[in-house]
């Protein structure tokens, strides 16, 4: 019954190793919230700490909680989820720019609704029906036939006259197609959320060499998302935990194929060894070091100078990136913009990518001389 000052908070009673791990995770990933850190602690070093305990440790370490006023929602959130894997797949397309070549790429993905497991993806220079069909077939070959597939009203999935190629393919496979309401992306909320995660955690900071490099590194990120990244919508589990819940041996085998550094490989590619050399020439000290792809020479009392290095005629081949585990599908012509100069788009009068236009027709169009195109 002794008198005690009011309003004082008791310090965190977590073990010191847990407290230090929380701070280290926050320093390495400033964008992570308290719940994400709590999930990573449980799945990684197996340290128990709830979201409130993580918040207390961060507050004691000098982090301040920033409260932001949220915008009011016009309608309440409605959630739906199928009861088991392969009952429903969601599919959508995402577009981004290949920075080095200033060219637009199109990414299609198929995601299991129950587990958020990405069952297939495809990357190509055109958003055609052929791309969507190839990804669908590769996903079915790896993970079986789903009962239903949810799509939007994009021309790759739906046509206003007759039946689209995608709809005919689903009918042949015995799959029911569900089409979302126009201008309502919330229906495809799970795959739309995945596009946001892919952009924030990989594409926003990655610089790809070419189409093939982008394909492999995006596939590695999908492997990380499927097997390593805890999902708050799944109560801290990974999509693979749910998708393979009835086959734990299959899950263990696939997890062994996913490299521990899949996330860093997807962001940075093959890491280059650091380069630094120092010594003396005619009694004068010097140093040579690399900064990214540039090399600088520094001498005592002189400003540093950039050095242009000339490699050998036959350089040693670099170790390739590991092949992603997630199935990939794409039409045979992998790179449609090989002969197109960087930063130049195709004429707007070119045939649109509809179900009636094929890749062969587009290739024939590109072989037409420019004056004839303009005349048409």
Please choose, from the candidates 318, 284, 317, 322, the residue with its C-alpha nearest in 3D space to the C-alpha of residue 302.
284
- Residue 363: pLDDT band (50, 70, 90) is very low
pLDDT of residue 275: 62
DSSP assignment string, 81-118: --SSTTSEEEEEEEEEEETTTTEEEEEEEEEETTT--E
Lowest mean pLDDT among 45-59, 330-344, 359-373: 359-373
- Residue 370: pLDDT band (50, 70, 90) is very low
Is the domain defined by 88-268 classed in CATH 3.30.420.10?
A: yes
299-357 residue pLDDT tens: 777 777 887 766 555 555 567 778 888 888 888 765 555 444 444 443 333 334 333 33
Q: Can you tell me the mean pLDDT for 34-48?
A: 81
d(CA 51, CA 57): 10
d(CA 347, CA 239): 42
Say whether 372 sits in a helix, a strand or coil. Answer: helix
171-205 residue pLDDT tens: 999 999 999 888 887 888 899 999 999 999 889 88
d(CA 120, CA 125): 17
**Contact at 8 Å (CB) between 108 and 92?**
yes
- Residue 217: pLDDT band (50, 70, 90) is very high
pLDDT of residue 160: 82
CA dihedral 29, 31, 34, 35 (to 10 degrees): -100
Please choose, from the candidates 126, 123, 92, the residue with its C-alpha nearest in 3D space to the C-alpha of residue 109.
92
Please choose, from the candidates 319, 336, 346, 285, the residue with its C-alpha nearest in 3D space to the C-alpha of residue 128.
336
What pTM does this model have?
0.61
95-149 residue pLDDT tens: 999 888 889 999 999 999 999 999 999 999 988 899 999 999 999 999 999 999 9
Quote the percentage of the chain above a pLDDT of 70: 68
What integer best gives the mean pLDDT of the chain?
77
């Amino acid at each position: 019954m002794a008198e005690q000052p009011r309003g004082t908070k008791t310090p965190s009673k977590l073990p010191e190793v847990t407290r230090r791990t929380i701070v280290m995770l926050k320093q390495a990933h400033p964008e992570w919230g308290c719940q994400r850190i709590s999930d990573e602690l449980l799945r990684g070093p197996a340290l128990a700490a709830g979201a409130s305990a993580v918040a207390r440790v961060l507050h004691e370490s000098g982090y301040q909680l920033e409260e932001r006023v949220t915008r009011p929602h016009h309608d309440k959130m409605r959630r739906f989820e199928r009861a088991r894997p392969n009952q429903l797949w969601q599919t959508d397309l995402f577009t981004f720019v290949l920075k080095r070549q200033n060219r637009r790429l199109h990414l299609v993905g198929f995601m299991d609704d129950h587990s958020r497991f990405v069952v297939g993806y495809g990357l190509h220079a055109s958003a055609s029906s052929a791309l969507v069909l190839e990804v669908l077939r590769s996903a079915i070959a790896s993970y079986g036939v789903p009962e239903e597939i949810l799509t939007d009203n994009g021309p790759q999935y739906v046509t206003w006259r007759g039946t689209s190629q995608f709809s005919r393919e689903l009918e042949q496979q015995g799959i029911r197609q569900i089409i979302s309401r126009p201008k309502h992306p919330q229906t495809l909320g799970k795959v739309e959320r995945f596009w946001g995660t892919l952009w924030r955690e990989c594409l926003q900071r990655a610089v790809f060499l070419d189409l093939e490099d982008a394909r492999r590194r995006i596939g590695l990120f999908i492997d990380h998302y499927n097997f390593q990244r805890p999902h708050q919508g799944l109560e801290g589990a990974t999509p693979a935990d749910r998708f393979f819940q009835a086959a734990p041996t299959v899950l263990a085998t696939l997890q062994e194929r996913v490299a521990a550094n899949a996330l860093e490989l997807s962001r940075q590619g093959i890491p280059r060894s650091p380069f630094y050399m120092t010594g003396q020439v005619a009694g004068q000290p010097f140093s040579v070091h690399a900064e990214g792809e540039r090399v600088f020479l520094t001498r005592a009392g002189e400003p540093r100078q950039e050095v242009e290095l000339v490699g050998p005629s036959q350089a040693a081949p670099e170790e390739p990136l590991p092949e992603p585990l997630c199935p990939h599908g794409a039409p045979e012509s992998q790179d449609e913009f090989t002969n197109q100069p960087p930063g130049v788009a195709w004429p707007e009068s070119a045939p649109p990518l509809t179900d009636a236009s094929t890749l062969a027709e587009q290739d024939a169009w590109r072989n037409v001389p420019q004056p004839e195109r303009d005349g048409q």
